[in-house]
Every structure is written in structure tokens, then in C-alpha cells.
Amino acid sequence: MKTFMQFILFMVLAVVVIAIAVLLGDNGAWYFAWLVGTTMIVLIAAAGGVMLDTQEDHAREKAKVHVVQGKQ
């Protein structure tokens, strides 16, 4: 039953998307590019933040090891 409900949900979503594409006409491609571009910018910014946090954590751990070993 769950699979059938997912199928129905995706079919309704497909109909809505097709209806929006018909209503937008020639502007549809521009809106699609804007949506994809905005999503990519957000995802790349989030990935950059994660990488920065990881680098800072790695540097902090490395500094702790040097202090513990007496290397300073």
C-alpha cells in the first residue's frame, strides 16, 4: 500500500509540474535555471562551511597532539 501511495503522490506531482511548465511557457527554462542555480549556490556554500569546520577541527587536534608531546 505504501508503494501505491508513493506512486500516486509522484503522479500528482508530475501533473502539477507539467501544468506549471505549460503556464510558464517560454519563461519556464529561465525559472528552472534560476532554481537549479540557487540550489547549487546554497549547497556549495554549505559544503564550504563543512570543509572549513573540518579543517579547524583537524588543526585543533594537531595542536593538542603537539602540546601533549611537548613539541609546542
**Residue 72 pLDDT greater than 60, yes or no:** no
CA pseudo-torsion sign 43, 49, 50, 52: positive
Could you state, in order of their start, the residue ranges of all structural domains in the chain? 2-69
18-60, pLDDT tens digit by residue? 888 888 888 878 888 898 999 999 999 999 999 999 999 999 9
DSSP string, 13-65: HHHHHHHHHHHHGGGHHHHHHHHHHHHHHHHHHHHHHHHHHHHHHHHHHHHHH
The predicted pLDDT at position 11 comes to 96
